[in-house]
Structure 1
Amino acid sequence: MRVINFLIEKPRILFLTLAFILLSGISSGLSVPIQENPELAERWGGVRIFLPGASPERIETEIVNDLEIKLREVEEILELESIITQGFSTIVVELNQSVPPMLIEETWSKVQDKLNQILIPQGAEIFLDRSSGPPITVQYAVTWNGDGEAPLIMMSRLANQLKRKLSSIGSSHQTAVFGETDEEILIELDSSKLSSLGLSFQDISKAIQSLDAKKPIGVSSNNNSELLYRLKDNIQSIQKISEIPIKIINESEIIQLDDVAVISKTPVSPIEDIFLFNGKVVVSVAGTGSFSQRVHDYVERATIVVDEMRETLPSEISIDLIYDESAYTTKKFNELVKSFSLAIFFVLSISLFFLGIRSAIIVTLILPFSICLVMVGCRFIGLPLHMTSITGIIIALGLLIDNGIIVVEDYKNRRASGLNINDSISQGLKNLSAPLAAATATTVFSFLPIVTGEGSSIEFVGGMAMTVIMSITSSLVLALLMVPVLMNYMEKIPYFKDADISNEGYSNEKILNKYRAFLNWAFLVPRRAIMLSLSLPILGFLLFNTLPKDFFPAQDRDMFRVNIELPSNASALTTMNRVIEIREDILKSGLISVEKDYSFIGRMMPRVLMNVVGGEEKQGTNNIAQSVYFATDYYEMIENLPELSRRLVKNNPDIIVLVDSFSSGPPVFSDVSYVIFGDDPGLLKSLGEELELIINNSPDINVTKSATSDSITNVEFELNSSNISLSGQNANYLVNEMFTANNGLIVGTMLDSNKEIPVRLKGLSNKNNLTGNTGFITIPSQDGFEYFDSFGKSTLTNKSSTITRLDGQRTNDVEGWIWTGTLPSATEEAIKKDVADFESRLPIGYSLKQLGEAESRGQSQASLYSSAFMYFILIIVGLVLALNSFRETGLILSVAFLSIGLSFLGLFIGQQNYGFIGTISAIGLIGLSINDSIIVLAHIKEEAKEKLITKAELVEVVIRSTRHIITTSLTTLGGFLPLIFASVFFKPLAWAMSIGVLGATITALMYIPAMFIIMRKVKY
């Protein structure tokens, strides 16, 4: 009260304080980092293993077994999933959700240390690929607009030049080039000509390497200076290479390299990384700005760099903008401005209607000052403005004035009863400070589990809870300090001086009498009021099982993706042609208006959004492609995606086609997933086929896949040791010749401008006869030459191409993807009985584990519940301290329980799914719903403290409380309306809380008084 009196006596101090809050908030709002997505701790990564030509069994035995044992020494690792294919393996490393973000870097350093301790076979490579950092901020396409075939080598060089320029921008996290073509000097040797000269591939290799001298050959120095001697580079051009002597005949005739070889500068073949933009082959450059900066600033700096480079390009080449994250961030902020404006309109209108102009002005003033305090808080704790933190502010807009309305109404009632200004303020603060603090504390405690919980799901929505907590805390401070002082000043304004404060706001005697009669009827038999107030929560609980279950809502992005997978042996060019066909089918269908599109071919999609992982590095997956399409209308896209999905699957029955919108929340790699553990590969395969059939029987399943069903076709050559011995050849020599002839061997480099180009030695091949090439390779012999077929025989094989392991055990991963527009939970429920029967029939030593969305959903909700329990105890402690009664605490806690049912009812009315966001809304609603009940109970207790209260007097207390309870409920509802109509992601929360707040109003005005009558045995 001393502070209030000081501010009343020193009005300049109050206005200076408010000016400081306003200016600090504006300053903070202009400097707080702005980004689209929250920063998630890096709990996923991959260990990439390359061993060219090695079978999956060899990689498993020689590398993966030891590597998994070593990695298991890092206690922070939750799970190791290994996918081993021919020549390549990925070990997906997932860290425990309990690892705090500040220890993530240290943990990955431990993982790297373990990798450094592993002994690997010669020719193998191992590196850690961390799927970290923000998503792509801006992406461009270097496009050929001229006639003829696109000059990919020149475009790739320009793309790398642009990449270097973008890397030099301040706050760049990383830059990347997609679809670039590596170039090489290719020396294609005719093995028959070589053999006729008595030469081998290895002889030519030694001849080239002997002339490729790029190192210094000495130093000459004296007392005054020092000079470095070096050989002049002999490999300066294709002409120089072609003139390399490889053999001298009759001591006078020199055989040059171009006599037996075709030499050219060419793109590396086969092409394994292709990028399409609007159906054209381009080279793409992506720039990713670091977290904790304003994304608009980064895009503006990138635009300047690109514009400068455009001026230097020929007319045939352009740099086109593919993607700009700042456009979506701008959209979010425009929504915030609209929501803020709408909230002010609702608050001012409702407050003006119910409270009068004087009170309306005061409570509306709380909004901008509270938002300013939130901006200061964000700046202080380093919280950026992004999708979830902005939504938290939007949610809080309707809650900010609740405390102010209660203080204003209480002040008006006391002034109407005859108290002077000072007594009205002091008595009001004395009776309201504890209940308001308790109500605010319970709301804070109900949102704290979302802040302090563990795991990526919690981190994703944690910013929302932080801004809500800061908002309602600041509103409490302003309500208790600013509102009473401003009410005092308002009474001194001439316009309000003679106004009757008790008559401000809407009143209708007829409605009031009917409302009083209804309350008298309800409280005459308290069970009536209790049954009426319990009907909505109980209905919500009864309807819960009818709610569809999901994990996270869809992204409110006008983007959808099309993933395709061809047979394992398909080349990148074959995959590209299929992507172009599917693109034409999408455009021809007319189902979705497409603005633009791009496709990654031969690699997984990189981090285009926050929860997309896995495509930062090329993985040798030429048979896959992932495309992103930008729709002109989001709602048209969502409505027609199911039909488009079925159309594309029907028109492409020979490949896997998956069509879906982008999801939100942490990454989930398949909708339905089970893992069978066992040892025998054959039995694992047969069990996987049986389980795959069970999943396929679900009506919502689009496609299923069993890991062990993947196969790859190879040409296997079996050497005949007897023939090798009789010919006098060496097996190692023959293998090296075969490798050089087929795959090629890097024998040197050539500097071309500012780029070093590798020189590859390779055999001439017949591209129309891949399987027969090896047999026709010739080897020099004493009698001239011999074909490679003389040393063995080749056969065509088709074997399982994939080995999967989970935490050191052999597995068979069986996955299913559902049709667009359906939910995994429905599929899980449909096959639940059959899967349980399948599990019961598994052989001894074999087991089954469920993964997919079900596991992710369960982990996230378990983390949230475990964190919420501790704060539930704190809510109880706070209520006991505020109410000084265990019975009344139990009464308020029963309101909290009923609010959960109200949240379920809200989801049902809004036709929303129950998932992680629905769980958050139920927990958050607990704090909101008990606020009104605490205030009504405080008013009843205040009246009952002076004397033995009667039912008639209790009815009058409820009537007095009704005005501000309805006002706060309607303003809170007004804050949620923008989310109902504008936000796809938070729509479940908005519906649950909107209906919940309305239901909580009935609970506060009927359930609480009725229970008080029963507990205190109040008589009429």
Structure 2
Amino acid sequence: MLEGLFYRNRRLLILLMALITVAGLSSYYVLPRMEDPVLTQRVARVNTRFPGADATRVESLVSEKLEEELREIDEIKELRTISRSGMSSMTIELRDDVYEVDEVWSRIRDKIDDARVEFPAGAQEPDFEELEVKAYALIVALVWDNPNHVNYAVLRRSAKQLEDRLRAISGTEDIDTFGDPDEEIVVEVQPDKIASLGLSVKQIAQQVESSDAKLTAGQLRGVKSDLLIDVDSELDSLSRIANTPVQFGSEGHSVQLGDIATIHKGVALPLSSLVIADGKPAVTLGMFVRDNVRIDHWSHAAKAALAEFEQSLADDVSVQTLFDQNRYVEARLSGLVWNLVLGGIAVIVVIVFMMGWRNALVVGTALPLSAFMVLAGLRFMDIPIHQMSVTGLIIALGLLIDNAIVVVDEVRAKLHMGMSSEDAVISTVRHLAVPLLGSTLTTVLAFAPIALMPGPAGEFVGSIAISVILAICSSFFLAMTVIPAIAALFADANEDLEHAHWWQVGFSHAGLRDWYQKSLDFLFARPVLGVALGCLLPISGFVVAGSLPEQ
């Protein structure tokens, strides 16, 4: 009979417990860790520049064209557009029931390209950006420590080198840079010299632009193939720019640009963004990690790369860590795990006091085994370890042992009735299977609305309910398989309940027991009163709920 399978086959019992333990521990070390759940990217921004146009022209010639195309996509929940002089800024938000967003964003990009064809001359290409809904894993700053003039070119090159190193770390998803100024090459012409040559600044700019042509110089045609001729004329250095010939006069005379202008490389002013760290100029880098990566492992690799990179920096530049998510994740998860351990210890202490040390050991076995099964379930469902999933396990802590307590008490009672250990296990499982299943399903249905909640709210708190559901289902499975077998193996059928110590069979007080028995007899004789008293507290809760402050 299946009810006594694990009691008769001790090796199968040990194998099942070992399998659950290995699955849970391996999941604990494999599952990604983060502070908060991952939310689907349902918001994007589209910025389109239209230099020289007022807000009315931007609205009619750019914003409305984009809106007409994007309204054809059913998955869009809301379009918010702000048109101002020279700029159209649009925010796109998808519906909460959209989870496969990559395909939707692809179609939105296609619609933006279709609208781009109808833009007037002068309107630039729309800049599409999906907005991240997760925190940076690490934010570091390259700080200029020299109190003298800041060299943004050095900071910029150092930031680029550091970005390349961090991108090479496995698990890095993306890196944002802030305070990184654009570099530019400035050509300052000397007015007296160009005036003597009969040239204007505009003519010189046109000749320099034509010298930096990106087109091929020609083509050689053959019988079987053609060859493109490309002249290496790219203006990629200050010396090449200085040697650029500038023609003047009707006879085609020329002079080098460096003879009539001063050429230097510098930072584009005014600065588009500025970062100050501890009162010093800096360039910061914010790193995102992939959702399937353990942030603690990635953080250790990133810190090692930072330490190595810092050795190669100039004396004027230093590296500062402004934000490290791993510190918060470890502190938060350590606190939650410690609460879980303390809760488990408190539960065991109470069970020792109420049921004795033997039964406490059996019931206590359900706690780690259920936790391991929850971790394995989270791994199967691709749910990381974060504060929501661990909180769900803490919430379920009291529910985990309910089934085990009922089963252990039933097995002990049947053993004291004179049943054999195997018969006690079989009778207990048959007697309690349906009631415990009904209790489990009731709790599952109570938490199901939270687990099935759509949108960002459901993605954030849904893992709490999923952890609870996994925990109580695991508890029911163990109560029907492992717990009755262990209870029968640990139980002492010959123990003297009347003369045993409290730590052997649990605390018992004759006066309290008699009072409780009389109360039950009184209410059973008056069922209407019993039902009324049972409904008193729930009804009172509904009544006073309306007076609670809303937030």
Aligned partners of 1:214 and 1:231 also within 8 Å: no
**What is the CA–CA distance in structure 1 between the aligned matches of 2:10 and 2:51, rounded to whole Å?**
79
Q: Does 1:112 align with 2:105?
A: no
Q: Does 1:26 align with 2:25?
A: yes
The CA RMSD over aligned residues, in Å, is 3.0
Distance 1:10 1:526, change over 3 A: closer
Distance 1:237 1:70, change over 3 A: closer
Provide, for residues 342-393 of structure 1, a one-character-per-residue CA deviation record: whole Å limited to 9, x for no partner: 1221111010111111111100000111111112222222221122112112
User: How far is 1:497 from its partner?
Assistant: 5.4
Q: Does 1:499 align with 2:495?
A: yes
Q: In structure 2, what is the equivalent of residue 351 of structure 1?
A: 351
Q: In structure 2, what is the equivalent of residue 481 of structure 1?
A: 481
Q: Does 1:541 align with 2:542?
A: yes
Aligned partners of 2:197 and 2:249 also within 8 Å: no
Q: In structure 2, what is the equivalent of residue 307 of structure 1?
A: 307
**What is the CA–CA distance in structure 2 between the aligned matches of 1:424 and 1:249, rounded to whole Å?**
113
Provide, for residues 880-935 of structure 1, a one-character-per-residue CA deviation record: whole Å limited to 9, x for no partner: xxxxxxxxxxxxxxxxxxxxxxxxxxxxxxxxxxxxxxxxxxxxxxxxxxxxxxxx
- State percent identity of aligned pairs: 31
Q: Give matches, 1:669-818, under 5 Å.
A: none
Distance 1:234 1:362, change over 3 A: closer
Paired letter, 2:378: C
**What is the CA–CA distance in structure 2 between the aligned matches of 1:155 and 1:92, rounded to whole Å?**
33
Could you tell me the TM-score, scaled by structure 1's length?
Answer: 0.50
Could you tell me the TM-score, scaled by structure 2's length?
Answer: 0.89
Q: Give matches, 1:246-395, under 5 Å.
A: 246=246, 248=248, 263-395=263-395
User: How far is 1:154 from its partner?
Assistant: 1.0
Provide, for residues 584-603 of structure 1, a one-character-per-residue CA deviation record: whole Å limited to 9, x for no partner: xxxxxxxxxxxxxxxxxxxx
Give the 3-state SS of the residue equivalent to 1:181 in structure 2. Answer: coil
Give the gaps of 5 or more residues in structure 2.
none
**What is the CA–CA distance in structure 2 between the aligned matches of 1:455 and 1:467, rounded to whole Å?**
19
Give the 3-state SS of the residue equivalent to 1:318 in structure 2. Answer: strand
Aligned partners of 1:447 and 1:465 also within 8 Å: yes
When structure 1 is superposed on structure 2, of 332-341 and 111-120 the one drifting more is 332-341
User: How far is 1:416 from its partner?
Assistant: 4.2
User: How far is 1:248 from its partner?
Assistant: 4.3
**What is the CA–CA distance in structure 2 between the aligned matches of 1:521 and 1:321, rounded to whole Å?**
69
**What is the CA–CA distance in structure 1 between the aligned matches of 2:215 and 2:71, rounded to whole Å?**
44
Distance 1:193 1:519, change over 3 A: farther
Q: In structure 2, what is the equivalent of residue 13 of structure 1?
A: 12
Q: Give matches, 1:927-966, under 5 Å.
A: none
Aligned partners of 2:7 and 2:422 also within 8 Å: no
Q: In structure 2, what is the equivalent of residue 989 of structure 1?
A: none
User: How far is 1:428 from its partner?
Assistant: 2.8
Aligned partners of 1:410 and 1:428 also within 8 Å: yes
Give the 3-state SS of the residue equivalent to 1:404 in structure 2. Answer: helix
Q: In structure 1, what is the equivalent of residue 39 of structure 2?
A: 40
Paired letter, 1:348: I
**What is the CA–CA distance in structure 2 between the aligned matches of 1:77 and 1:56, rounded to whole Å?**
25
Paired letter, 2:408: V
User: How far is 1:409 from its partner?
Assistant: 1.9
When structure 1 is superposed on structure 2, of 259-268 and 89-98 the one drifting more is 259-268
Q: Give matches, 1:588-603, under 5 Å.
A: none
Give the 3-state SS of the residue equivalent to 1:399 in structure 2. Answer: helix
Paired letter, 2:540: L
Q: In structure 2, what is the equivalent of residue 853 of structure 1?
A: none
**What is the CA–CA distance in structure 2 between the aligned matches of 1:148 and 1:310, rounded to whole Å?**
21
User: How far is 1:12 from its partner?
Assistant: 1.8
Provide, for residues 805-832 of structure 1, a one-character-per-residue CA deviation record: whole Å limited to 9, x for no partner: xxxxxxxxxxxxxxxxxxxxxxxxxxxx
Paired letter, 1:443: T
Aligned partners of 1:412 and 1:501 also within 8 Å: no
Distance 1:48 1:417, change over 3 A: same
**What is the CA–CA distance in structure 2 between the aligned matches of 1:431 and 1:410, rounded to whole Å?**
9
**What is the CA–CA distance in structure 2 between the aligned matches of 1:249 and 1:432, rounded to whole Å?**
106
**What is the CA–CA distance in structure 2 between the aligned matches of 1:473 and 1:23, rounded to whole Å?**
19
Provide, for residues 814-872 of structure 1, a one-character-per-residue CA deviation record: whole Å limited to 9, x for no partner: xxxxxxxxxxxxxxxxxxxxxxxxxxxxxxxxxxxxxxxxxxxxxxxxxxxxxxxxxxx
User: How far is 1:275 from its partner?
Assistant: 1.8
Paired letter, 1:145: D
Q: In structure 2, what is the equivalent of residue 902 of structure 1?
A: none
Q: Does 1:470 align with 2:466?
A: no
Paired letter, 1:285: L
Q: Does 1:76 align with 2:75?
A: yes
Q: Give matches, 1:177-216, under 5 Å.
A: 177-188=177-188, 199-212=199-212
Q: In structure 1, what is the equivalent of residue 460 of structure 2?
A: 460
Give the 3-state SS of the residue equivalent to 2:549 in structure 1. Answer: coil
Q: In structure 2, what is the equivalent of residue 770 of structure 1?
A: none
Q: In structure 2, what is the equivalent of residue 509 of structure 1?
A: 510
Q: In structure 2, what is the equivalent of residue 85 of structure 1?
A: 84
Q: Give matches, 1:631-670, under 5 Å.
A: none
User: How far is 1:484 from its partner?
Assistant: 1.4
Aligned partners of 1:4 and 1:484 also within 8 Å: no
**What is the CA–CA distance in structure 1 between the aligned matches of 2:165 and 2:120, rounded to whole Å?**
39
Give the 3-state SS of the residue equivalent to 1:270 in structure 2. Answer: coil
**How many equivalent pairs are there?**
541
Paired letter, 1:500: D
**What is the CA–CA distance in structure 1 between the aligned matches of 2:175 and 2:338, rounded to whole Å?**
35
Q: In structure 1, what is the equivalent of residue 64 of structure 2?
A: 65
Distance 1:193 1:57, change over 3 A: farther
Give the gaps of 5 or more residues in structure 1.
551-1020
User: How far is 1:480 from its partner?
Assistant: 1.4
Aligned partners of 2:197 and 2:248 also within 8 Å: no
Provide, for residues 972-1014 of structure 1, a one-character-per-residue CA deviation record: whole Å limited to 9, x for no partner: xxxxxxxxxxxxxxxxxxxxxxxxxxxxxxxxxxxxxxxxxxx
**What is the CA–CA distance in structure 2 between the aligned matches of 1:248 and 1:79, rounded to whole Å?**
58
Paired letter, 2:400: L
Greater relative contact order, per chain length (Cα 8 Å cut-off, separation 6+): 2
**What is the CA–CA distance in structure 1 between the aligned matches of 2:149 and 2:539, rounded to whole Å?**
69
User: How far is 1:54 from its partner?
Assistant: 2.1
Give the 3-state SS of the residue equivalent to 2:146 in structure 1. Answer: coil
User: How far is 1:127 from its partner?
Assistant: 2.9
Provide, for residues 526-584 of structure 1, a one-character-per-residue CA deviation record: whole Å limited to 9, x for no partner: 5554454434333322332333333xxxxxxxxxxxxxxxxxxxxxxxxxxxxxxxxxx
Paired letter, 1:295: I
